[in-house]
Amino acid sequence: MTTLTIEIPERVGKTLADLVEQLGGKVISVTEDVKQSRASKKKQILDDVEESMKFVKLHEEGKAEAKTLEQLLNEL
């Protein structure tokens, strides 16, 4: 089987994916618009920072135990 990577306008993406499947092919992935992708990455980073800050607060309150640097390095 042959794998193709193509760039097409977003408005025809679903139509082309449907056509490929009707022809017996398989659509492996559909990449979002670059702006949406950047927004998604930014949101993920902000969510990760927020989660980290919550953990730091729990640790400061004595409700969570943080690993030592030695423990973290041993995991590598």
C-alpha span between 48 and 54 (Å, rounded): 10
Note whether 49 and 73 are same-domain residues. yes
Contact 7, 34 (CB under 8 A): no
Using alpha carbons, select from 6, 51, 50, 47 the residue that is nearest to residue 25: 6
Q: Kindly tell me the sign of the dihedral angle through the C-alpha atoms of 59, 70, 49, 40.
A: negative
pTM above 0.85, yes or no: no
Which band of pLDDT confidence, cut at 50, 70 and 90, is reported for residue 55?
A: very high
Range of the domain at 53: 32-76
Contact 33, 10 (CB under 8 A): yes
Which band of pLDDT confidence, cut at 50, 70 and 90, is reported for residue 33?
A: low
Q: How many domains does one find in the chain?
A: 2
Note whether 17 and 54 are same-domain residues. no
Give the per-residue pLDDT at 70: 93
